[in-house]
Structure 1
Amino acid sequence: MARPTNKESLITLSQSSFNKLLSLIDSLPDPKAEFPSGTMNRNVRDVLGHLHHWHLLMLEWYKTGSKGEKPAMPATGYSWKETPELNKKIWEECQHSTLSDTRQRLINSYNQIQEIIKSHTNEELFEKKKYKWTGTTSLGAYLVSATSSHYEWAFKLIKKASK
């Protein structure tokens, strides 16, 4: 499906991509198995933790931006060029959680993101430069990146690693 450009397609694709990801995980013979070497995220828990933490970042950007302030992006102390270092920190934080707990946290943060999407009109989501904190892009573009695009990345990674 094409990248969403309206509220309806954003909701539809984010939900279907998320459900497809969870279905894949549920179909795995051993979702706790380690992936072959070559990726930082070494198992399903790591991938779900990554998604959850990026949801949390999006939620923080939205909260800060909604107050008229400029959020630290991608996170306090990190520039976009330092995303690999941020992802390593996220990975390290995920090592102290179970797959079950991480999955539930992801579902909870997913639901929070869905509430944000549903609370906005199509114009509020997809008009570029509508919000100062989103710069030259739209809120919807950030939400696409935090949802369907990221879920598709996770799906492909888990599918490839599970072969």
Structure 2
Amino acid sequence: MPRPKTKVQLLAQSHENFQKLLDYINALSKEDQLTDFHGETMNRNIRDVLAHLHHWHLMMLEWYQIGMSGQKPEMPAKGYTWKTTSDMNKWILEKYQKSNLNEVKNAFLKSHEEIRALIEKHSDEELFKKKRYHWTGSTSLAAYLISATSSHYDWGLKLIKKGKKLP
């Protein structure tokens, strides 16, 4: 699927990949939804994957809020750099271990909607013009949103499918 170049394409691709992810999960039995994956992965089950996606939504929303207020957000998060993203992802994994799948799924649905609403309020130029906002550096706002939505949902679906295949 080509990378979105307009708001309409961004919303459509985000929705399509979001729906594919949910449809796949919802087609599994409740038992399969709760069973750990086969093989070795950091995210061991559907809850872990959805928690990861949800938390990246939250970080994107925080970057946006801070960045649009004229400040420079700490990316990817306070205490982490892009080179230490794997350490941060381990922290995210640990953060949600006491949550159940239903709680995480509801949080993911809510944060997805918040990201969708954020996309809706911007024009094509605001989303796709590189260097438009100081806080996005040399790239566009859309690049961050694509990473937090359609690309990330595709990653999540592939990881879940791989984890659910029989050994």
Q: TM-score range by the shorter chain?
A: over 0.9
- Looking at structure 2, the residues matched to 43 and 74 of structure 1 have their Cα atoms a distance apart, in angstroms, of 24
Aligned to 2:25: 25
Tell me the secondary structure at the aligned position of residue 31 of structure 1. Answer: helix
Deviations 1:46-72 (CA, angstroms, capped at 9, x unpaired): 000000000000000000001010000
Q: Please tell me the residue identity of whatever aligns with 2:27.
A: S
Tell me the secondary structure at the aligned position of residue 159 of structure 2. Answer: helix
Q: Please tell me the residue identity of whatever aligns with 2:5.
A: T
Aligned to 2:120: 118
1:6 positional shift:
1.0
Q: How many residues align?
A: 163
1:16 positional shift:
0.7
Structure 1 residue runs of 4+, over 4 Å off? none
Q: Does 1:137 align with 2:149?
A: no
Q: Please tell me the residue identity of whatever aligns with 2:59.
A: L
Matches within 5 A, 1:7-86: 7-29=7-29, 30-86=32-88
Identity %: 54
Runs of at least 5 residues in structure 1 that lack an aligned partner in the other structure: none
Q: What do you get for the CA RMSD once the two structures are aligned?
A: 0.6
- Looking at structure 2, the residues matched to 127 and 51 of structure 1 have their Cα atoms a distance apart, in angstroms, of 25
Deviations 1:118-158 (CA, angstroms, capped at 9, x unpaired): 00000000000000000000000100000000000000010
- Looking at structure 1, the residues matched to 94 and 163 of structure 2 have their Cα atoms a distance apart, in angstroms, of 20
- Looking at structure 1, the residues matched to 55 and 153 of structure 2 have their Cα atoms a distance apart, in angstroms, of 13
Runs of at least 5 residues in structure 2 that lack an aligned partner in the other structure: none
Q: Please tell me the residue identity of whatever aligns with 1:87.
A: N
Aligned to 1:2: 2
Q: Please tell me the residue identity of whatever aligns with 2:156.
A: A
- Looking at structure 2, the residues matched to 37 and 152 of structure 1 have their Cα atoms a distance apart, in angstroms, of 19
- Looking at structure 1, the residues matched to 59 and 40 of structure 2 have their Cα atoms a distance apart, in angstroms, of 26
Tell me the secondary structure at the aligned position of residue 33 of structure 2. Answer: coil
Aligned to 1:92: 94
- Looking at structure 2, the residues matched to 65 and 52 of structure 1 have their Cα atoms a distance apart, in angstroms, of 20
- Looking at structure 1, the residues matched to 95 and 55 of structure 2 have their Cα atoms a distance apart, in angstroms, of 9
Q: Please tell me the residue identity of whatever aligns with 2:117.
A: E
Match 1:151 to one of 150, 153, 166: 153
Q: Is the 8 A contact 2:39 2:163 kept in 1?
A: no
- Looking at structure 2, the residues matched to 80 and 46 of structure 1 have their Cα atoms a distance apart, in angstroms, of 21
